[in-house]
Structure 1
């Protein structure tokens, strides 16, 4: 199996399967610093990244936006002074798809190269 941060998203339609409980247990181990949040009954992956200032947080946000646009899969991004909250979930399936775990892993990869990560 390809490492999540090297994988690419597949087209996801409303009838695509959400990750099963068994898949969730395996995939979450590959991105251990991410939290599972439930909002309005929808499972989402979320992580807070800390930076030294707003400029570095904004640069990270833009980098995540670039990988999201390239994959056609877009997160929730909350950029504040010194921090960025990234939330992944698949709108079309109203929950978690393997794509979300791929993009969470790729977000971590972007963070490793980001300047100013605390």
Structure 2
């Protein structure tokens, strides 16, 4: 499956969260991401706080444009944590995996990718 090219489903509120089996099948498609507390998570390193803030803003613009928003935060003054989770369904959806794959592709081409 080519996750980055898959369309985002705007109607996921009427679907069930992915099963553990479905999540296990999709995880190899996003090798930079881990399952942490039921969320698809990654950490990106920046040179300093200013770089982390720039990255956070870039991620926010990207996610808003795509119409699927992550949880994001800055830790240790230079690490940007990103977690995908579909609150509308109370779990992970294929949209979360699509967005993780797209974000990894986008940032890898610019920065070198997640830690």
Per the normalisation by structure 2, the TM-score is 0.85
Indicate the SS of the match to 1:14.
helix
- Is the contact made by 2:32 and 2:104 (CA closer than 8 Å) also made in structure 1? no
For the pair 1:87 / 2:86, whether they are aligned, the reply is no
The residue number in structure 2 matching 1:31 is 30
Q: Deviations over 1:22-80 (max 9, x none)?
A: 22112100112211122xxxx21111111111222222212211221112111001024
- What TM-score comes out, normalization by structure 1 length? 0.83
Aligned length: 113
Runs of at least 5 residues in structure 2 that lack an aligned partner in the other structure: none
3-state secondary structure, aligned to 2:47: coil
Cα RMSD, aligned residues only: 2.0
Aligned-partner Cα distance in 2 for 1:53–1:23? 37
In the alignment, is the contact (CA less than 8 A) between 1:50 and 1:57 conserved in 2? yes
The aligned residue for residue 74 of structure 1 is: 69
Q: Is the 8 A contact 1:88 1:100 kept in 2?
A: yes
Task: List alignment gaps of at least 5 residues for structure 1.
Answer: none
How far off its partner does 1:106 sit?
1.3
Name the CA distance, whole Å, in 1 between partners of 2:68 and 2:82.
Answer: 13
1:8/1:61 CA distance change after superposition, 3 Å: farther
SS at match of 1:47: strand
Q: Who is 2:57 aligned against?
A: 62
- Aligned mate of 2:97, from 91, 94, 101: 101
Q: Name the structure with the higher helix share.
A: 2
Q: Which runs of 4+ in 1 moved over 4 A?
A: 115-118
